[in-house]
Amino acid sequence: MKPLLVLCVVCTLVVLCVSMTAEQKLKNCNDVRAAYSSKGFNVNDVPNKGVNARE
């Protein structure tokens, strides 16, 4: 019974850690525009909408 409990706790912690790192990677358009602008790109050259990576 004890190994099963430990396994459940470990699996829960792994899922929580993965979900937290995924949330940190999400950026909205304003964050991306600010990042481009801070790198020295002209505001007019920054994409206005998302670009599909599969195209």
Look at residue 52 and tell me if it is in a domain.
no
Instruction: Indicate the number of domains in the chain.
Output: 1
**Encoded tokens for 22:** 């995924």
pTM: 0.39
Rounded Cα distance, 41 and 35, in Å: 9
Question: Which residues make Cβ contacts (< 8 Å) with residue 43, sequence separation at least 6?
Answer: 33, 37
Structure-model confidence comparison of residues 51 and 22, the more confident one? 51
The mean of the pLDDT values for the chain is 75
Asked whether 22 and 37 are in contact (CB, 8 A), the reply is no
Look at residue 26 and tell me if it is in a domain.
yes
Look at residue 3 and tell me if it is in a domain.
no
**Domain around 31:** 12-45
**H/E segment holding residue 33:** helix 29-38
